[in-house]
Each structure stands twice: as C-alpha cells, then as structure tokens.
Structure 1
Amino acid sequence: MPKSKRDRAVTLSKTKKKGREHKENIVSSIRDAVEKYNSIYVFSFENMRNLKFKQFREQLKSTSRFFLGSNKVMQVALGRSESDEMRPGLHKVSKLLRGDSGLCLTNMPVEEAQRIFNEYEDYDYARTGSIATETVELKEGPLDQFTHEMEPFLRKQGMPVRLNKGVVELVGDFVVCEEGNPVSPEASRILRLMEMKMATFKLNLICRWSPEDFEMYQEGLQGSDIESS
C-alpha cells in the first residue's frame, strides 16, 4: 500500500517566526541610528509600492536609514513618554507613528530632505479596493485598443462585448469604475489593459526632530494632539 501523504514528516527548521528577538533587533537598530544621524523624520505613505520604495531608499542609502513595520516597535525604540524617551523630545516623534507611517533618519540638510520628499511621486495601476480617482466609461462601439484574442477575457470581466468581423465591439456603454468608489478586481484588470495608471505612490512628511528643535509639517496636528494621544 502506498504511503499516505499525511504521514510525511515536515521539517520546521527553515521556518522562523518574527518573534521577540526580531523585535529587539529592530529596536537596537533604530537606537543605533538615532546616535548616527542628525535628523529624524516621520512620514506617511499613500499607495505603497514595495519595489518603488526600495528604489527610493537605495537612492538615499549614503545619507539616510529608513524603518517601516510595527509602529509599536518603533515607538518603543524611541520612547513613548518623557520618562523613557531615548533623547529629549523623541516621545513627540513616537506619538506620530500612526497608521501607514515610517521613520527616516538622515544626515541630509533640512531643505534637501524636504525637497526630495515633497517632489517624490510615482504612478502605478490601481489595485483592487483602492479608490478610483476618476470615472472611466467606455462608449458603445468598436474597441480598437483590444485585439480579437482578448474578447473572451473581456467578457469574463463583465464587459458586454462581441467580435464583429474580427474587431472587439462593445454592444452597450460600460462603466469601468466611478470616481470616489473602490476599484473592483475586474476594473483593476481592465484599467491595466488600458494602461491607465490611477494610483499615486507618495511620501508625506509629518514632522522632523533634531537635538535642537522639533517641527511639524502637516496641518491639523498640533502639540496638544501629540501630548493627549
């Protein structure tokens, strides 16, 4: 009788969970970086694209160090209150690590860092669930941008299409997505086929800390908010 697959031994030696040791290493790395760099920035991000962020980080690796991950772990590294902060004022930075945010520790001049972050934008295709930035509607008639081989795929995406003498034809008006509404999986595929990039990957500076001062960048975040959070 052949041996059951359920009886096969599975080795776990190559699988490691990111536990306490991993978190302690991050805390240690952040604290080492605090001693090495002149300024610390908190930034938020929109429509994160890992590859594009890696490229951005690589461009600045000679002057800067970036940290993304658990906000709580980064908060522990900096200190969450005046009593346990690593350097004076760092608890204010810690309290601004919320949601989609990260740390940039750098030796760049302030003006250069602000310029690089403010000017950075990269466009990509909208993913499922992202919010459409415009309404895209296709009118009834031939769709010359699609080849006849794509007709079955387009039908699977819910588009009312047919082949007419080898040309893909829309038999009725079709709304791909509506501005302000989430992009469906089907709409995401259609927009990619149409080469319509609707997602903007951006990095927004929230604050800057240095041993000399602390500066807020985003409106609506006041000192009282930091202290009460």
Structure 2
Amino acid sequence: MPKSKRQKLVSLTKVAKKTKEQKGAMIKDLQENCEKWKYCWLFQVGAMRNTHLKTVRKLWKDTARIFFGRSAVMAKALGTTPEEEHRLGIHKLAKQIQGQVGVLFTDSEPDEVLEWFADFQQPDFARAGNNASRTVILPEGPVMRHHSDPPEPFPHNEEPQLRKLGLSTWMNKGVPSLHNPHTLCEKGKPLTSEQAQLLKLIGEKMVVFRVALISRWCAVTGDVVQIEGQQLPDEPATAGDESEDGMDE
C-alpha cells in the first residue's frame, strides 16, 4: 500500500545545504585572498548582529576582505598543519578557527586595525538569555518609551501588549500607567523573552556589538601574534543572526 502524502514530514527550519562546488569556491576565494594581503586577522564578534557586521564590511570594503562562514571550511582553506598550510606559518592561526569566528585580510598596519576595532562599538537590544547589564525599574505613572527625546508615553492601543508581557498596567486618561514601581529586570540575572521584549519596547539597550581581535598572521615573517585582553562574554545563540558559509563581501 503506497504511503499517504499526508504523512510526509516537512521541517519548518529546513535550510538548503551548501554544495561541494560552493564550498570549493569559498576555499579558493580564501586562498586567493591569503596570497593577496599582508595580514590575516582572526576575530570574534560580541552581541552578533548581521546589520552591524554588514556595516563593518562596508567601511572596510576598499581596504580589506572579510569572511564569516563555516569555521571548518575556513580552517581547511588556510591549512591547519605545516604540511597543509597555504602560506608559511598561517597554520598556527588556522588551528584557532573554531566556533563563531571570522577572518579579515588587510594591508592596514596592526596599530591602525587595533585602534579602529577598539573604537567601533554599537549598542543594541539584549535577547532572552542575556544577563541584564543593569537593574531597570519602571516608575509609578505613565509607562514611557525612550526611543525619542524627551521620552513619550505608550499609546493606548499598546496597553494589551504591555499587560501580556507582564506589566500590571491601567488606563489613566488614555495612557497605559502603573499603580506602583515595577522592577523590569535585575542586574546580572538572565532575561526572559518577555523582559527582553519589554526592554526593546521601552528603548533600553543592554548589549554592545563589537569585534574582538584574537590573533594576527603576517605574510612577511610567517609569525602569528596573539592579541591579549579581547575576551568576550558568552551570548545565547540566535538563529536569526547565523552567517552562512562564505558570507563575505
């Protein structure tokens, strides 16, 4: 008896796998850039947001090439042993390509690169699972949004959403208000999805997107230098900001 089509399972999170040809093209692209540029940097991203990473790519598009894809593919392209390395000494950097890291090729001098990435920091909204960076207490009275300056109260039609997210609001002359102060989150404690959503609605940014440089390879000497003091706090993985293989511009 043939199987019913109704019994077919369809994954709602199905993602097309990269073909062997696409991975091969990425490996070739990485190796060509390895031959072209003077320095290769390994970096990690804190509070990963694709929007901010695209900004970094745009600002460096004329003086660098950035790859942020599958770590195994990038490591294979550069070679993780002296026998497999694509250029002298780069296997010492390739062995460190694990997890969510990226590679930056450039001719810019180290001091310039270090200074630029130290300055580039973009505040953003926290996500569920992040630890609150500070305690936020909503005062008695109108619930305010801080997206504008000065802050303005929420419109009446958003009151049901505020209640759904855990606020005991009431309507005071058409404005969602609180009878008593409400502790939205406490410093150091993980945020729930409701807390994260409320923080976004009121305009409180608690995380900072930044790029931490891990190590640097030099084509002239073949040496790899470790960059100290660049550790980043752990952040919950979020599917919406996962980069695809070979994501570069």
TM-score interval, smaller chain:
0.7 to 0.9
User: Could you tell me how far apart the structure 1 residues matched to 2:24 and 2:179 are?
Assistant: 60
Q: Which moved more, 1:62-71 or 1:148-157?
A: 148-157
Deviation at 1:127, TM superposition (A): 2.1
Aligned partner of residue 215 in structure 1, secondary structure: strand
Q: Percent identity?
A: 35
Tell me if 1:174 matches 2:182.
yes
Of residues 181, 204, 216, the one that matches 1:208 is 216
Which residue matches 2:62? 62
User: Could you tell me how far apart the structure 2 residues matched to 1:40 and 1:146 are?
Assistant: 48
Which residue matches 1:147? 155
User: Could you tell me how far apart the structure 1 residues matched to 2:88 and 2:42 are?
Assistant: 16
Cα distance per residue 1:2-53 (max 9 Å; x no partner): xxx97xxxxxxxx953122221111111000001100000011101111111
Which residue matches 2:17? 17
Q: Which moved more, 1:160-169 or 1:66-75?
A: 160-169
Where structure 1 has 5 or more consecutive residues not aligned to the other structure, the ranges are 7-14, 222-229
Tell me if 1:46 matches 2:54.
no
Deviation at 1:114, TM superposition (A): 1.3
User: Please, what TM-score do these two structures have when normalized by structure 2?
Assistant: 0.77
User: Could you tell me how far apart the structure 1 residues matched to 2:226 and 2:82 are?
Assistant: 18
User: Could you tell me how far apart the structure 1 residues matched to 2:69 and 2:33 are?
Assistant: 16
Q: Which moved more, 1:135-144 or 1:177-186?
A: 135-144
User: Could you tell me how far apart the structure 2 residues matched to 1:17 and 1:220 are?
Assistant: 33
Which residue matches 1:188? 196
Cα distance per residue 1:177-208 (max 9 Å; x no partner): 22222222211221122111112000011111
User: Structure 2 matches for 1:94-105, cutoff 5 A?
Assistant: 94-105=94-105
Cα distance per residue 1:54-103 (max 9 Å; x no partner): 11111111110001111111110111111211112111101221222110
| Conserved? CA contact 2:214–2:230, under 8 Å | no
Superposed CA RMSD in Å reads 2.2
Q: Which moved more, 1:72-81 or 1:172-181?
A: 172-181
Which residue matches 1:88? 88
Tell me if 1:162 matches 2:170.
yes
The code of the aligned residue for 2:46 comes to E
User: Could you tell me how far apart the structure 1 residues matched to 2:190 and 2:108 are?
Assistant: 38
If asked which structure has higher relative contact order (CA below 8 Å, sep 6+), I would say 2
User: Please, what TM-score do these two structures have when normalized by structure 1?
Assistant: 0.84
User: Could you tell me how far apart the structure 1 residues matched to 2:182 and 2:190 are?
Assistant: 17
Report the count of equivalent residues.
Answer: 210
Where structure 2 has 5 or more consecutive residues not aligned to the other structure, the ranges are 7-14, 145-152, 232-249
Change (3 A) 1:131 1:79: same
Aligned partner of residue 218 in structure 1, secondary structure: coil
Deviation at 1:174, TM superposition (A): 2.2
User: Could you tell me how far apart the structure 1 residues matched to 2:18 and 2:129 are?
Assistant: 28
User: Structure 2 matches for 1:99-118, cutoff 5 A?
Assistant: 99-118=99-118
Which residue matches 1:217? 227
Which residue matches 1:32? 32
